[in-house]
Chain A
Amino acid sequence: EVQLVESGGGLVQPGGSLRLSCAASGFTFSSNWMHWVRQAPGKGPVWVSRINSDGSSTSYADSVKGRFTISRDNAKNTLYLQMNSLRAEDTAVYYCARKGPGTGTFDPWGQGTLVTVSS
């Protein structure tokens, strides 16, 4: 069974940092592109970042470019999101997701980890 399990969320002050992790199992992690998608309370999902299978290529939404860094460790089957200079508007549930069928879909998603940026 394919599983994605996020961790690392929590309460952080504005300007602070957090590193999220996503542990993958049940599939060949090293062969798959991976994404981070976030969802603020009561809002629709918003794509954050993606990384290719070997980690050599990354992309970011404009809202996080220069502040967030996506990375992966294929030996540990783990995806990461380093978040710096956090703002109140970064408050959301953060999901990791595998690239799904049709080139740009997300399937499956993890259960999510909540990041709250507040003083």
Chain B
Amino acid sequence: EIVLTQSPGTLSLSPGERATLSCRASQSVSNNYLAWYQQKPGQAPRLLIYGASSRATGIPDRFSGSGSGTDFTLTISRLEPEDFAVYYCQQYDSSPLYTFGQGTKLEIK
């Protein structure tokens, strides 16, 4: 099983600032089969990024993903008030044993 470790656990930033979230895999994720999701309180997760760097339909271009192998990053270029949420990475390399990270909470400073 591929274990995903996200850091930091909590990130405190202000609107307008840049956010950088990290996801590290316990073994290499082939073909960049890595996705990112956003979850707000009381809501289901929403797909943001797949294939490590491709934005899902309707996702603003302030969200970008990068990385390969075992280290991946989600960057939000300029935080909007609606971006404060919990973010999860997910790997789909070891299909069907898909796994998620434990999440990074992005909170308003």
**A78 vs B21: C-alpha distance when bound (angstroms):** 36
Q: Are B96 and A106 within 8 A (Cβ)?
A: no
Chain A residues in 8 Å Cβ range of B96: 47, 50, 59, 104
Contact flags A86-119 to B (C-beta < 8 A → 1, else 0): 0000000001000011111111111110000000
Count of CB-CB pairs between chains A and B under 8 Å: 70
Contact B45 A109 (CB under 8 A): yes
Closest to A46 in B: B100
Residues of A near B99 (CB, < 8 A) are: 47
Q: Is A45 a contact partner of B88 (Cβ separation < 8 A)?
A: yes
Nearest Cβ in chain A — how far from B22, in angstroms? Answer: 15
Q: Give the Cβ gap from A113 to chain B, nearest Cβ, in Å.
A: 11
With contacts A105-B92, A108-B46 taken as known, whether A44 is within 8 angstroms of B54 at the C-beta atoms is no
Query: Which one, B44, B50, B101, B103, contacts A105 given CB within 8 A?
Result: B50
Known A-B contacts A44-B88, A44-B100, A45-B88; the reply to A101 vs B44 at CB < 8 A is: no
Which B residues contact A (CB, under 8 angstroms)? Answer: 33, 35, 37, 43-47, 50-51, 54, 56, 88, 90, 92-93, 95-103
